[in-house]
Structure 1
Amino acid sequence: MALSESSLLFKHLCEIYHQYRQTKDNRDKGLFYSADCRQICRQDPSYAAQDRDTIVRYLDESGEMVERILREAGWDFKGAEATTTKASYYTVRPLTGDEANEFGDARHVIPAGFSSVEELQARAKAENWTGLRVNMWTDDGGERGLLVKVKYWWRLENVENGGDSTASHALISFAAV
């Protein structure tokens, strides 16, 4: 389902995302994901997740992951200075039609528990998924930063029956740039 930036649903999803960003405790962040939410990681496909509990565990480990990504990018640092953030920014917009149907290839989706890209695309269509593109930039204040591009999808429920629509988090896909 394509979103418009002026739609109530887009505004609602942005509010949910803002609340998520303001949540400090990773256990509380886990409440924003449905129990069967999955995660695709293009940077490191082994960092995929097949459920909320694994995503929360990865949130707990994210400092180590960020440090590894920065080392692989050639950053020369020692200890805590690697993850010191002076500023953090993000932008949010609806997924374009192409982005909404693009999940990577088999090496990305299989570790997340899907048999194929086609299965994932069919599931997204059958479950009426809609999504946001979030670009997150962290800056260390020393002309270094990390850009992470994330696509979030939500399952829309009760839309066909005229009831109140609800959105449950279905999938996260991200890559560090």
Structure 2
Amino acid sequence: MVAAYLSNAFDDPRAVELDRWTLTCFPTTNKSSTHQRLFTLNIGPMEVLYLAYELVDGQVVDWGLTVYVSRSALEAETGCQLVELDARNDLLSIRATSMASAEDDGAVITCWFGDEVAGEQFDSLPLDVTTIRPLVDRLAIKGPGPYPRYHNPWFAAHVLQHLGQE
């Protein structure tokens, strides 16, 4: 999933590692006793992809993937406004993001994979170069974000080995 996002985001992800994107493992963002992120992909100043899990009584009960794309591109590709798209995909959360870096053109999509149909709904969305690249282009010109010191070069190297295999 990280390799797929990076392949859609950049012509050559290897060439812009750290300058345009970073990958953190087990970030503390929104961490609680019932919620933990496994990783977060940041492009410039904004998180654009993360995987998290939910715990109940110390046991993992669900895994969720959150991805950010261009709102205007997603609406153009699907022919639906976000509200309608969210209603049609009732097992997903699809909404506009309030992150300032997206400049009012970000959409955030969250899928919890405990329900197989949620995964099918997620897979039906155009999460590709048409919806990812417009947001990334907006973020990349803002320069490096504040996350290089948290970047995990070993995880990034593993992801980069899988470019083109997603």
What TM-score does the superposition give when structure 1 sets the normalisation length? 0.24
Structure with more contact order per residue of length (Cα contacts < 8 Å, sep ≥ 6): 2
What TM-score does the superposition give when structure 2 sets the normalisation length? 0.25
